[in-house]
């Protein structure tokens, strides 16, 4: 494993760990929702701010899983047409498509930062600031960009090897 | 350039990008971003991306998606698939093609606690296909049955399909989920009729049946069926009577299944991790498709295509059922190469206003749309459920699976026709809801 290999290994490992950290939020999300319904029905005491808390938890859950979903190729794509092309054309297309994805995700990372820094609002009941959760859009997009760079490197390497 | 023309170009761009193999969500974001930049300015288009992604991923009603998906994961890991199949097998094995019928009924039962269709097909395939092989069922029948049965997960609530339709069209998700119950049962019945008539016409496809079991065993096997049935009744009953929202229902359903799996000591770390990972990757995939669609719809709305198309369609001097038939054909065509959620996300911004302007009922059309998405899960060359079943039944060639699916596919269209002729079959339950 050369230097590239080591970097790729760490990028994928970090994105996997980030995803694991985020996905555990599903447990408090489901338990708090149930507790809220039971508390409301049995004791007339709902959990204050449950909707805000759940929204923020969903935000973290989804955004931290973004790069990992790319790693396992979980974002749906149509392979029916490209899979019939000769290998060479497939490899070139893969590079083009990854570059286009990278372009839009770099914009998202940049704008996630800009839009996040402008944010000063807090949530209605618990007064939790929105800013960190908005900035997370930028962080998630950066991690996704790293994952796309990994894809780009492997597409280029495959192209060189078969040339 | 005229806004409408640029809208058309943008739509073409999406289809070009996605046929090049770019992830569909990213294609829509890119085309939407370029389109908004073109119709307004780059400065106006830039923040739209980040805002839409934030608003989609922190929108409270969408919490229902990971919860519905994880319900299926917990249900599968607590062994419900096996129990359901074992129970219905004991009751139905004496009928012609009994093991196939048991598969369909068990799929319907599992669909009642699971939100995702592919998960249903995979879970049931590993249980039912070896069993049908043991009794020399034709692979065409057994693989077709499992692939078709898996689609029930998309129609019988909890169902991700209705959640996404509700999100895109701003309809009540609760009403949509309730509306799926009767058509889901109708479709299961249609599948059973397919199996019975297939075996009657050609008895060789299901040559032997296992010996009948005693009544004592039959009732003993029914006992574990109570768990998923109770959970289904609590989750759907709660939505129906307005005790809680679909999101809260997802939370309660997931918690109950989590506790069931825990109490059976079936929930070790690897199983738990797999369930959560499945939930996270499906939710990210779905929500990014929705975010991409929202960016793209912003552009389409600027181009005025949805309004122009729907006024144009309404001005046509043809029956509205003619237009409905064309829409169904479009879905059939798109279903050949797109997956269900992408198809919904790509078409709804234009098709939904048309449906409303033609005076069709939105909840009723939701059922039709979801049924067509199910058909898309089965149509060659890109039937997602077919690939899943092919992964389980490795020795069966893809062609025979597709041939085995054909009668089931036709029965989906019979059910679509039935719901068009008798719209009340889909709408009477949601119309009786308290809110």
Q: Which of residues 73-132 of A touch B (CB under 8 A)?
A: 74-82, 93-94, 96-97, 100-101, 103-105, 107-108, 111-112, 114-116
- Closest chain B residue to A135 measured between Cα atoms? B54
* CB-count burial class (<10 Å; 0-12, 13-18, 19+) for B265: exposed
Name the DSSP class of B243: S
Distance from CA of A22 to the nearest CA of B (A): 9
Which two structure tokens, joined as six digits, stand for B422?
């008798």
Q: What pLDDT sits at residue A44?
A: 80
Query: What residues of B are in contact with residue A104 (Cβ under 8 Å)?
Result: 26, 29-30, 33, 49
Q: What pLDDT sits at residue B434?
A: 63
Q: What pLDDT sits at residue B394?
A: 75
Contact B197, B82 (CB under 8 A): no
Q: Chain A interface, mutation test: which of B280, B380, B384, B386, most A Cβ atoms within 10 Å? A: B280
Query: What residues of B are in contact with residue A94 (Cβ under 8 Å)?
Result: 21
Contacts of A113 (CB under 8 A, 6+ apart): A135, A138
Residue written as tokens 């219905």?
Answer: B88
Query: What residues of B are in contact with residue A135 (Cβ under 8 Å)?
Result: none
Given a cut of 80, whether residue A79 has pLDDT beyond it is no
Chains A, B: CB contacts under 8 A, how many?
193
> From CA B339, how far away is CA B384, in angstroms rounded?
7
Q: What pLDDT sits at residue B328?
A: 93
Interchain CB distance below 8 Å, A65 and B283: yes
Q: Chain A interface, mutation test: which of B16, B23, B69, B242, most A Cβ atoms within 10 Å? A: B23
- This model of the complex carries an ipTM of 0.94
Annotate B386-398 with b (16+ C-beta within 10 A) or e (fewer): bebbbebbeebee
Q: Chain A interface, mutation test: which of B14, B22, B68, most A Cβ atoms within 10 Å? A: B22
How open is the CA angle B54-B22-A73, to the nearest 5 degrees? 75
The DSSP-derived string for B160-224 is HHHHHHHHHHT--HHHHHHHTHHHHHHHHHHHHHHHHHHHHH-GGGS---PPP--HHHHHHHHGG
Which two structure tokens, joined as six digits, stand for B345?
């996300």
Is A122 in a helix, a strand, or coil? Answer: strand
Name the DSSP class of A46: P
Contact A128, A56 (CB under 8 A): yes
Q: State which residues of chain B have pLDDT below 50.
A: none
Q: Which one of A26, A59, A111 has the shortest CB-CB distance to B46? A: A111
B17 close contact with A: CB closer than 8 A:
yes
Given a cut of 60, whether residue A1 has pLDDT beyond it is no
Residue B349 burial (CB count, 10 A): 22
Helices A3-23 and B269-303, axial angle in degrees (round to 10): 90
Q: What pLDDT sits at residue B242?
A: 86
A122 - beta bridge partners? A129
* CB-count burial class (<10 Å; 0-12, 13-18, 19+) for B418: middle
Q: What pLDDT sits at residue B417?
A: 95
Name the DSSP class of B226: H
């Amino acid at each position: 494993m050369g230097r590239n290999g080591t970097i790729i290994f760490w990028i994928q490992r970090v994105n996997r760990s980030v995803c694991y950290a985020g996905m555990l939020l599903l447990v408090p999300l489901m338990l708090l929702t149930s507790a809220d319904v039971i508390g409301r029905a049995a004791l007339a005491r709902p959990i204050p701010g449950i909707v805000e808390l759940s929204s923020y938890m969903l935000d973290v859950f989804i955004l931290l899983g973004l790069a990992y979903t790319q790693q396992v190729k979980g974002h749906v794509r149509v392979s029916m047409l490209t899979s019939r092309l000769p290998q060479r054309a497939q490899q070139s297309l893969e590079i083009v498509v990854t570059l286009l994805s990278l372009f839009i995700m770099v914009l998202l990372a940049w704008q996630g930062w800009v839009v996040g820094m402008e944010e000063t609002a807090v949530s209605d009941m618990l007064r939790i600031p929105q800013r960190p959760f908005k900035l997370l859009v930028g962080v998630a997009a950066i991690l996704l960009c790293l994952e796309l760079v990994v894809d780009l490197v492997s597409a280029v390497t495959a192209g060189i090897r078969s040339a | 350039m005229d806004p409408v023309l640029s809208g058309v170009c943008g739509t073409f761009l999406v289809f070009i990008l996605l046929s090049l193999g770019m992830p569909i969500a990213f294609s829509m974001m890119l085309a939407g971003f370029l389109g908004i930049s073109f119709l307004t300015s780059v400065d106006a288009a830039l923040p739209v991306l980040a805002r839409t992604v934030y608003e989609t991923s922190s929108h409270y009603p969408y919490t229902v998606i990971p919860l519905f998906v994880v319900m299926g994961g917990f249900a599968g890991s607590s062994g419900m698939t096996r129990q359901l199949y074992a129970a219905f097998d004991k009751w139905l094995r004496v009928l012609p093609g009994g093991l196939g019928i048991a598969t369909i009924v068990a799929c319907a039962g599992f669909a009642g606690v699971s939100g995702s269709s592919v998960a249903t097909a995979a879970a049931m395939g590993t249980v039912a296909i070896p069993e049908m092989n043991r009794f020399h069922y034709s692979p065409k029948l057994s693989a077709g049955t499992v692939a078709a049965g898996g689609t029930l997960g998309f129609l019988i609530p909890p169902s991700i399909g209705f959640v996404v339709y509700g999100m895109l069209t701003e309809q009540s998700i609760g009403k949509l989920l309730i509306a799926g119950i009767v058509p889901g049962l109708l479709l299961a019945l249609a599948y059973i009729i397919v199996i019975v008539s297939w075996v009657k016409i050609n008895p060789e496809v299901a040559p032997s049946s296992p010996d009948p079991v005693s009544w004592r065993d039959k009732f003993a096997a029914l006992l574990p069926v109570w768990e998923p049935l109770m959970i289904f009744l609590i989750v759907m009953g709660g939505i129906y009577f307005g005790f809680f929202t679909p999101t809260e229902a997802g939370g309660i359903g997931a918690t109950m299944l989590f506790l069931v799996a825990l109490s059976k000591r079936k929930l070790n770390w690897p199983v738990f991790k797999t369930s959560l990972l499945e939930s996270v990757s499906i939710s990210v995939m779905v929500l990014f498709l929705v975010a991409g669609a929202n960016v793209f719809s912003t552009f389409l709305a600027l181009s005025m295509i949805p309004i122009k198309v729907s006024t144009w369609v309404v001005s046509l001097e043809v029956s509205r059922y003619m237009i409905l038939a064309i829409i169904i054909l479009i879905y059939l065509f798109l279903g050949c190469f797109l997956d269900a959620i992408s198809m919904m996300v790509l078409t709804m911004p234009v098709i939904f206003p048309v449906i409303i302007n033609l005076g069709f009922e939105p909840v009723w059309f939701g059922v039709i749309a979801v049924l067509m998405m199910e058909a898309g899960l089965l149509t060659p060359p890109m039937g997602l459920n077919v690939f899943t079943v092919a992964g389980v039944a490795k020795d069966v060639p893809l062609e025979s699976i597709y041939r085995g699916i054909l009668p089931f596919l036709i029965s989906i269209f019979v059910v679509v026709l039935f719901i068009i002729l008798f719209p009340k079959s889909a709408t009477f339950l949601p119309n009786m809801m308290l809110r």
